Chains A and B, each alone.
Chain A
Amino acid sequence: MASRIKRRFDALRKEGKKAFIPYIMCGDPTLAKTEELVRVLEEAGADCIELGVPFSDPLADGPVIQAAGAKALAAGVNLRVAIDFVKRIREKTELPLILMTYYNPVFRYGEEAFAADAAGAGVDGVIIPDLPVDEASGLIGSARRHALDTIFLAAPTSGDGRLKKVARASRGFIYFVSITGITGARLELDGGVAGSVSKLKTFSGGKPVAVGFGVSTPEEAGAVASMADGVIIGSAIVKKAASGTGAEFTDYLKKLRAAIR
């Protein structure tokens, strides 16, 4: 059977819609709060959720996600805890859930054991920002055996050769990084994004491409959605959620949802 992520993108395509993919940090500041956030995001129309796994040295992340990760680490969250968390909330939701983790925790866990446990718990995909495709043959093998989608990142600096490699190795969707920078940096959209997205689609035989890094406002989300199959929003949501998940927050989510079309 096709993966949850693929089925979701297929359904969206049929309806002519784009995917809204929020990122939140698992356990920021508590697992109970994350569970509540997942529910709020689903109600607001999220199509997929990226769950960040905290790491001591998050070198691809900006200040907002660094701070969220520090709180989650203090709450005792790690890769195993995040997998158990997904297992628990999987009983309540059919939303595709993706873990975003750095590589060393996966290496330490063991790639095969990680893929087996994550897939078994109901995790649908994994994103590892410091594991480029060239170093990923072991993880890809394990992930395929356990039907866990591997989502790789392509960057504005990637030439055609690398875009092809990333397109081939990705399952579920391809993650295009909108800027040369870290998470939460300021978005500067240029013609390069649409060009790279269209190349990735050609090279992959039509796999969905989602764009993230630096997307913050509904206007930006709308602009990005017009070039891609999905929009990933992390730092802005993490920051807003930290100051309350009430009406103001859900209003922001609704505006994002409406803009991504």
Chain B
Amino acid sequence: MKKGYFGPFGGRFVPETLIPALMELEDAYNASARDRAFQQEFKLLARDYIGRPTPLYFARRLTAHLGGAKIYLKREDLTHTGAHKINNALGQALLASKMGKRRLIAETGAGQHGVATATGAALLGLECVIYMGAVDMRRQALNVFRMKLLGAEVREVSTGSRTLKDSINEALRDWTTNVRNTHYVLGTVFGPHPFPSMVRDFQSVIGKEARAQILKAEGRLPGHLIACVGGGSNAMGLFSAFLKDNVLMTGVEAGGRGIESGEHAARFAGGQVGVFQGAKSYLLQDEVGNILGTHSVSAGLDYASVGPQHAFLKEAGRVRYTYAVDEEALNAFEMLSKLEGIIPALESAHALAEAIKLAPTLPAEGLIIVNLSGRGDKDVQEVARIKGVEI
């Protein structure tokens, strides 16, 4: 396989100015993977700062309510800052500081990756600038304030659709300008090589823990894994530890207002192969190659393309990809809150929506692990707004 590629997907489609920085990053990342001291430092931070390992929790009341397979939740919502994003952001922040880069930049959609990067920057004493779309800043006002509290500068992006993809454009423009002293903490398994592999590796702790935990709890591997897929980092983190096992996997995209409405972010259901923001993958685009606007109730899934390894796993038939529409995600959001006392992120609620469909079709001895990638505190205000409740 060509370096930086997953089958025909991936690559490094960025301006020449950034290519040397990506090569430097690739070398530094490969060296850090072999560097015992680096690994030890990261492991300690993961334990004492992020709060790893996160529990694998058996959702007893949800399981009883649905009547079918047992549902386990991988509790990434319990990490410091409340989502899996911290696993990658802290890893990259540590790597950047070892590379002598004193300034971090990042894009953010839901705000979770922005908060995680701002946290990593605060911890390591680095300067931090976060790019966030104007629409997302309204949807996730709480996270904007959190980032500022953490010492980051939040720059509003008012170009294009004013959501995640436009924030990535701005972050790439900043990186192109300040590449000599700046590291771009890309938040998902997307973009130019080595980001898709590096981010997957930083997130792979999710799957490694979950595999050991389910074997301890049940003495066997699960039949199914379910995770939501925006760029796809929480899903790759969970799936990567099970790729060689006889385990079915489902990635859930944002169906928005339905595929036929055109207002969605279901790249596999409604997209074609294209090249965008550094990588070749499935892409929502028009017939002449311009990128289409997307819609999802969840800002973190509202993105026109998807990680190249997901595209590869789809074409290889290894992972099944489906979608949940806004309404299904909102129902799952409320169901988990009421039955388990856990308010999930709207992103994770898409994965739960699929579990709600799947569990009743399976026998009681079936096992499902759902990646509960983040907590829903950040979404409470937006859900209230959608429901027409004033708070």
Nearest CB to that of A154 among chain B residues?
B16
Q: Which of the 9-residue segments A7-15, A131-139, A222-230 touches chain B?
A: A131-139
Nearest CB to that of A103 among chain B residues?
B275
Across the interface, do A109 and B291 meet the contact criterion of CB distance under 8 Å? no
Across the interface, do B179 and A108 meet the contact criterion of CB distance under 8 Å? no
A173-191 CB mask vs B (1 if < 8 Å, else 0) is 0000100111001000000
- Does chain B have a CB within 8 A of A250? no
Across the interface, do B16 and A152 meet the contact criterion of CB distance under 8 Å? yes
Distance in angstroms between the alpha carbons of A155 and B166 in the assembled complex: 24
- Does chain B have a CB within 8 A of A25? no
Distance in angstroms between the alpha carbons of A109 and B180 in the assembled complex: 35
* B329 contact set on A, CB distance < 8 A: none
Distance in angstroms between the alpha carbons of A219 and B172 in the assembled complex: 30
- Does chain B have a CB within 8 A of A245? no
- Does chain B have a CB within 8 A of A30? no
* B21 contact set on A, CB distance < 8 A: 157
- Does chain B have a CB within 8 A of A158? yes
Across the interface, do A132 and B274 meet the contact criterion of CB distance under 8 Å? no
* B179 contact set on A, CB distance < 8 A: 157, 180
Nearest CB to that of B290 among chain A residues?
A56
B15, B172, B176, B276: the one contacting A104 at CB < 8 Å is B276
**A59, A103, A134, A177 interface centre (most CB from chain B within 10 Å):** A59
Within 8 A of A (CB), among B239-279: 274-278
- Does chain B have a CB within 8 A of A166? yes
Across the interface, do A108 and B288 meet the contact criterion of CB distance under 8 Å? yes
- Does chain B have a CB within 8 A of A80? yes
B16, B166, B177: the one contacting A132 at CB < 8 Å is B16
Distance in angstroms between the alpha carbons of A134 and B23 in the assembled complex: 12
Across the interface, do A177 and B17 meet the contact criterion of CB distance under 8 Å? yes
**Secondary structure type dominating chain B contacts:** mixed
Across the interface, do A108 and B16 meet the contact criterion of CB distance under 8 Å? no
Interface residues on A, range: 35 or more
- Does chain A have a CB within 8 A of B139? no
Across the interface, do B19 and A134 meet the contact criterion of CB distance under 8 Å? yes
* A142 contact set on B, CB distance < 8 A: none
- Does chain B have a CB within 8 A of A79? yes
Across the interface, do B291 and A155 meet the contact criterion of CB distance under 8 Å? no
Within 8 A of B (CB), among A118-134: 129-134
- Does chain B have a CB within 8 A of A115? no
Across the interface, do A104 and B16 meet the contact criterion of CB distance under 8 Å? no
A58, A66, A107, A162: the one contacting B16 at CB < 8 Å is A162
* B159 contact set on A, CB distance < 8 A: 66
Nearest CB to that of A152 among chain B residues?
B16
Q: Which of the 9-residue segments B6-14, B41-49, B91-99, B332-340 touches chain A?
A: B6-14
Distance in angstroms between the alpha carbons of A135 and B14 in the assembled complex: 10
- Does chain A have a CB within 8 A of B289? yes
A138-171 CB mask vs B (1 if < 8 Å, else 0) is 0000000000000011111111001000100000
Across the interface, do A73 and B290 meet the contact criterion of CB distance under 8 Å? yes
Q: List 9 A-B contacts (CB under 8 A).
A: A55-B289, A58-B169, A79-B289, A104-B291, A107-B274, A130-B13, A156-B17, A177-B16, A180-B178
- Residues of chain B having any CB pair with chain A under 8 Å: 11-21, 159-160, 165-166, 169, 172-173, 176-180, 274-278, 280, 283, 285, 287-291
